[in-house]
Each structure stands twice: as C-alpha cells, then as structure tokens.
Structure 1
Amino acid sequence: MATKTKVQSIIDENPVAVFSKSYCPYCRSAKQLLSDSGAKFYAIELDQIDDGSAIQSTLRDMTGQGTVPNIFIGKKHVGGNSELQGKKKELPALLKDAGAV
C-alpha cells in the first residue's frame, strides 16, 4: 500500500512523471523528446532505488503496462516511448495543459 501511495503522489505532484531505468534506450529516447520539447519532468530511475521493482509492479497493476518508460502527463497515463513518440504533434499542447512548459 505504501508503494501505491508513493507512486500516486509522484504522479499527482509532477506535471510530467517518467518511471524509467537509467540503462534503457527507450527511456533515454522518451526523456530526450521531453527535454527537446522544453518540458519540466520528473524522472525516477527504478534501477537506482531500493523499491524500484515494487514501484514497477505497482505501475503494472495500475496501468496494465509492465515496461519502462512508463509516462504520465497531467496525471494521465500516456504509455511508453512508442506512445509518446506517436504524440509528437500534440505534445506541446499536452505539456502546456499539464503546466509542464
């Protein structure tokens, strides 16, 4: 339960939240796109924290997605890197609506 609370507060407190792993090329690609878009985002590297696997398991329960990156914009689940890259055209508006730029 504590992990779910932690995950939810990360999503709630950040306009853009990226649950990531430091070595993952898809995570790097997603974070690069967000950076290039001027987004202020919070990235948590699940491979560098003690409860990373518990967080990833909680995210799978919450979203049905067990892979990283797991991205939220404006408290809404976007998906992973492929989904984010597919939203390039609407990304500026999504980020603006979320207060992330």
Structure 2
Amino acid sequence: MDKIRELASNNAAVIFTKSSCCMCHSIKVLFRDLGASPAIHELDQVTSGREMEWALQRLGCKPSVPAVFIGGKFIGSAEDVISLHVIGSLRQMLIDAKAIWL
C-alpha cells in the first residue's frame, strides 16, 4: 500500500493499468484527449505488480484496474471516472490537480 500511495502522490494524475485491459486503454485515451499526461503504471509489466494489484483491491478498487488517482486522491475505477466525465467533473478535477494546464 505504501508503494501505491507514493506513486499516487508523485504525479497530478496516476493510472494503474494492465497492458491487456481494454477499459484501461479507454481511460488512458480519455485522459490524453482531455489534455492530461498521467503517469501510467502497467502492473503486468513491473516486478511488484501483483502486490500493488492486491493493495488496490484492498483499497476498494474492483476490478483492480484501471485504478485512477488525481491529486493523490483515489478516484476509482473506469466506471467512476466515466461517471465523473459524463457529469462534467473530471476535467475540472484534472485542472484543480494541475494535470491540465489552461
């Protein structure tokens, strides 16, 4: 859990993903389309990926990926992020966290 918190707090926007996950890909594309360049951590490509995935599950992320953090705060998984985008809050959250510069 400490590694997750450290990585999440080091960047304005962080997405924990797996390279084979289509929803992960969609969330990465959404962030880039909004003008953000999130830090991406592919859990299936790092040594401690399985442990980080378990930590994300304990945090309440089900499924474990994608797991999104903005401004160091856990936002949720794909469904949560898409809901925020639909109601118009996601972009402002990214601006407030300085993940998007106007």
Using structure 1 for the length normalisation, give the TM-score: 0.90
Q: Distance in 2 between matches of 1:80 and 1:71?
A: 6
**Secondary structure at the counterpart of residue 47 of structure 1:** helix
Residue 53 of structure 1 pairs with residue 50 of structure 2: yes
The one-letter code matched in structure 2 to 1:94 is: M
> What amino acid sits opposite 1:64 in the alignment?
G
Query: d(CA) in 2 for partners of 1:91 and 1:35?
Result: 12
Q: Name the Cα RMSD after superposition.
A: 1.0
Task: Tell me the percent identity.
Answer: 33
Alpha-carbon distance in 1 for matches of 2:45, 2:96: 31
Of 75, 79, 85 in structure 1, the residue corresponding to residue 76 of structure 2 is: 79
Per-residue Cα deviation, 1:54-92 (whole angstroms, up to 9, x for no partner)? 01111222x212420011111111111111111111111
Moved over 3 A (4+): none
- Rounded to whole Å, the distance in 2 between the matches of 1:82 and 1:59 is 15
Matched residue type, 2:25: R
Query: Superposition pairs for residues 1-101 of structure 1, below 5 Å?
Result: 4-61=1-58, 63-66=59-62, 67-88=64-85, 89-101=88-100
Q: Structure 1 residue 5: deviation in Å?
A: 2.4
Q: How many residues align?
A: 97
- 5+ long unaligned stretches in structure 1: none
